[in-house]
Amino acid sequence: MSRSAAVRVQAPSVDIDSVVNETGLNAEGEIQVPQHGPQYDEAAWFTGSPSPGELGPSVLLGHVDSVSTGPSVFFELGGIAEGDEVTVTRADGEDVTFEVYRIDRYAKNAFPTASVYGNTEGPELRLITCGGDINEGTGHYEDNVVVYAKVVQAA
């Protein structure tokens, strides 16, 4: 498929249905997570990754929760299972459906960048959120949850 921005993500098995915004890199060269404000509780597509349906891993991220507002867009992501489907709608109106084949949790200080963002043999999807314990000193989660999925249908 040609390049087209992600605009909606749906994972019915875990009640995810969100608008998808765009995000890039912050000043430190890391993926910019949605900041507090109207887009905080919505998913974001990392524009430095392939768009859904293109060759390689398309990366969507979202918050699990917030101290001030409670559960966020990917709050239920930890309940997703292998075989579940995730559909991403693109700006060109095409829907791309992916099937989850793996779910992992990594310490943020040992995040496997190459295996999450590296080349793949076909179109794939990565859903990323926070997980694990909260660091008492920083108030942030210590881990990331990564859902891996392969394309099963592009319309």
Classify residue 1: in a domain, yes or no: no
User: Would residue 28 count as lying in a domain?
Assistant: yes
Q: Is 78 helix (H, G, I), strand (E, B) or coil?
A: helix
Residue 37 lies in a domain: yes
Q: In whole angstroms, what is the distance from residue 43 CA to residue 127 CA?
A: 9
Residue 114 lies in a domain: yes
* 98 in any annotated domain: yes
Handedness of CA 13, 14, 17, 21 (dihedral sign): negative
pLDDT of residue 98: 98
Domain assignment present for residue 116? The answer is yes
- What is the reported pLDDT for 155? 67
Coil, strand or helix: which one is 60? strand
pTM for the model: 0.94
Q: Is residue 121 part of a domain?
A: yes
Whole-number Å distance between alpha carbons of 80 and 23: 24
Residue 75 belongs to what domain range?
6-154
Phi, psi angles (nearest 5°) of residue 147: -105, 125
Query: How many structural domains does the chain have?
Result: 1
Residue 99 counted as domain residue: yes
Q: What is the pLDDT along the chain (155 residues), one digit of tens a residue?
A: 999 999 999 999 999 999 999 999 999 888 988 877 778 899 999 999 999 999 999 999 999 998 788 899 999 999 999 999 999 999 999 999 999 999 999 999 999 999 999 999 999 999 999 999 999 888 889 999 999 999 998 76
The CATH number covering residue 88 comes to 2.40.260.10
